[in-house]
Amino acid sequence: MDQAATPRIRNVALVGHSGAGKTTLVEALLSRAGVIPRVGRVEDGSTVCDTEPEEIKRGISLSPTIAPFTWKASDGETYKVNVIDTPGYADFAGGVDAALSVADLVVAVVSAVDGVEVGTETVWEQAAAAGIPRMVFVTKEDKPRADFHRVLDQLRATFGPGFVPLELPIGEEEAFHGVADVLSDQGFEYAADGTHHAGAMPDDVAEEERRLHDEVAEEIVSGDDEQLERYLGGEVPGAADLERALVHEVRDCQEFPVLVGSALTGVGVDRLADYICELGPSPADRPARVIVGEQEPGVGGSEISVASDPAGDTLLHVFRTVADPFVGQVSVFKVLAGTVGNEDHLTNAATGANERLHGLFFLRGKEHLPTDRVVAGDIAAVAKLTATPTGSTLSKRGTPARVVAPPARPTPYALALKPLTQADDDKLSSALQRLVGEDPTLMIDRTAHAGQTVLRGTGDTHLAVALERLARKFGVNVTTEPVRIAYRETIAGTVEAEGKLKKQSGGHGQFAVAQLRVSPTARGEGSVFVDSIVGGSIPRNYIPAVERGVMEAMAAGGVHGFPVVDVRVECYEGKYHSVDSSDMAFRTAASHGLREALTKAGSVVLEPVSLVTVTVPAALQGDVMGDLSARRGRIAGTDTLPDGRQQIQAMVPEAEIGRYVLDLRSLTGGRGTFTAVHDHYDVVPPHLVEKISAAS
């Protein structure tokens, strides 16, 4: 594939709600650029961007995919466009994070039929938080119930001012066949092959277009003091003047152009490519933010801007990793500065590992396009970087730097994995590490209390796809089960008990007596052992054995079988035999004594309680609070965020939130988010104890 100079590179992420038409639009752009012959899935159900079996099976994108093409824009310049197709389904929002980390422009794809949906809201807010310039492409304008004006009104109502419609549809629904250019006052009508010709404005949109032209012109010049002064003086700006001003306003996130078209018919697709190239910023316009001078990751260092200069010191950011069955691990990266060549040696800033970049290539879906160099601002890939996981920054030795990363996404949904065979068990650990290397939004947790291997992700579909890939790519098959809750027990009151061991079977016997006083401590204070022996009733050398026996008995479980916590065990008296006593005898006697104390006083079961923080639109606050209360939650407080949303904090038993991410999405239409952090242990209500004990 041809190289392009940094100012002629455009890195654009297509984002939007699942099903809005992002992948089809990528194919339409590639088709108009002459890269592929037609738009649509081929016989096996794949597209250029959706090639994984899991994507074909579900008909949705699951990972960010690069699809570069070369485009000669209407300004006469030739550009390289790296378009990034992103997932729209909420479970795979981590893929959107990865795409935004390298994008210089975001195109929000909105269906003219469905309008602004929750996925549109989410990704728009993500891009706004990252400060990335944005524009909107309203697609599916040829479909029944399509309504461009309704979508434009929704955009403004949802996100506020700044949306500048640069086009109007000529016709609508099945009659849609062209676009009216608001800046140039021309009509562009399309033929069946996707080509168009410019002409006079059709009568049915001429009046609206003239009115909109004046509104858009005033909106654009108001952001440019010099043009505004001339405009107020009576000078009418031309289309070229307006476009030049709009370039700066788009880059500064002051204005958001709105375009319209249809990916399937091709109407407006070429004009979208033109506007991406002519209005979108290049990497040279958007310096990277990196941290330098760290003594170790997260310690010290200062944040600086690095210009996207091909002549600068080489710096690249690995934003995605793919496990390829033929070439091994493929690292997809953006060159932030400098120029990378085949056989270059770079150093991982985090690990200090030296990596050789052998066999550089551009990716288009799963197609590899070899290259011998990659300039600043461009996106490419390389295989077999053994010590460079996703998120790594590579630089020349002696100049370590780290890209400022967004906060890690929470992983609220979890399943415990059980290998089907011993062979699966042997490969599970390494396969999971490779799986997480490919998708950093997954997490592995090995629970000590239950001996389970737990896989955590953003939702049920996320984990289902991960397990399918675990079997297909790494040959590891597992079944799943719920994650066991870490229940605990504590003693119900203060009691004295005697632990005694007396055995005689010829030769040396076993003899030990330990008198224990057992009482509860404050919740969360932990367990303590107190030695109150006086007068030598138990020799000093046996006291550690008594303590060990007590602690082992606690770990083994109480009346209900759960580990015992928050108790004070005082050994205040005992007996020993000069021949028959031993460490083992006192360990055994002490464990008997603790169990006797728990039996006499009874125990209560404790459950982990999480601090759950839910963020929802204000209209849904009551529904969410009612649902939390139904989960045995105690509302701790509410707060109003600057954007008007409500933040609710509640203490909720961990057992009640295992599927909360799914239930909250259903309750709020996907508009609610939450975090959960372990806070404390509390007593399980008596009517639930028997059920919990039986289940465990």
Check whether 606 has a pLDDT greater than 80.
Answer: yes
Residue 448: the pLDDT is 64
Would you say 486 and 608 are in contact if contact means Cβ atoms under 8 Å apart?
Answer: yes
Instruction: Write the single-letter amino acid at 400.
Output: P
**Which pLDDT tens digit goes with each residue over 627-661?**
999 999 999 999 999 989 999 999 999 999 999 99
Residue 113: the pLDDT is 97
Rounded Cα–Cα distance for residues 44 and 368 (Å): 20
Would you say 125 and 159 are in contact if contact means Cβ atoms under 8 Å apart?
Answer: no
In the chain, what percentage of residues exceed pLDDT 90? 73
How sure is the predictor about 360, in pLDDT bands with cuts at 50, 70 and 90?
very high
**Which pLDDT tens digit goes with each residue over 65-91?**
999 999 999 889 999 999 999 999 999
Query: Of residues 594 and 242, which shows the higher confidence score?
Result: 594
**Which pLDDT tens digit goes with each residue over 525-574?**
999 999 999 888 999 999 999 999 999 999 999 999 999 999 999 999 99
Cα–Cα nearest to 605, from 691, 664, 510? 691
Q: State the CB neighbour count (10 A cutoff) for residue 407.
A: 6
CA contacts within 13 A on the Cβ side of 59: 5
Rounded Cα–Cα distance for residues 689 and 147 (Å): 57
**Which pLDDT tens digit goes with each residue over 283-323?**
999 999 888 876 566 666 788 889 999 999 999 999 999 88
Residue 690: the pLDDT is 86
DSSP 382-404: EE--TT--TT-EEE-TT--EEE-
pTM of the predicted structure, to 2 decimals: 0.89
How sure is the predictor about 694, in pLDDT bands with cuts at 50, 70 and 90?
confident
Would you say 105 and 281 are in contact if contact means Cβ atoms under 8 Å apart?
Answer: yes
What average pLDDT does the segment 248-260 reach?
95
Find residue 150's DSSP bridge partners.
none
How sure is the predictor about 222, in pLDDT bands with cuts at 50, 70 and 90?
confident
**Which pLDDT tens digit goes with each residue over 576-591?**
998 899 999 999 999 9
In three-state secondary structure terms, 66 is strand
Helices (H), 50-117: 53-58, 93-100
653 conformational bin, left if phi > 0, alpha if psi -120 to 50, beta if neither? beta
How sure is the predictor about 219, in pLDDT bands with cuts at 50, 70 and 90?
confident
Residue-range domains of the chain with CATH? 6-285 (3.40.50.300), 288-403 (2.40.30.10), 414-481 (3.30.70.870), 488-601 (3.30.230.10), 607-695 (3.30.70.240)
Q: How many residues does the chain have?
A: 696
What average pLDDT does the segment 94-102 reach?
94
Check whether 325 has a pLDDT greater than 80.
Answer: no
Residue 190: the pLDDT is 92
Query: Of residues 337 and 448, which shows the higher confidence score?
Result: 337
Q: N- to C-terminal Cα distance for the chain?
A: 60
Residue 290: the pLDDT is 87
What average pLDDT does the segment 443-469 reach?
90
In the chain, what percentage of residues exceed pLDDT 70? 98
List of residues 6+ apart from 680 with CB closer than 8 A: 523, 524, 608, 609, 651
Helices (H), 557-652: 583-601, 621-630
Mean pLDDT of the chain: 91
Q: Which tokens sit at 6?
A: 């940094």
Q: Which tokens sit at 110?
A: 């909105």
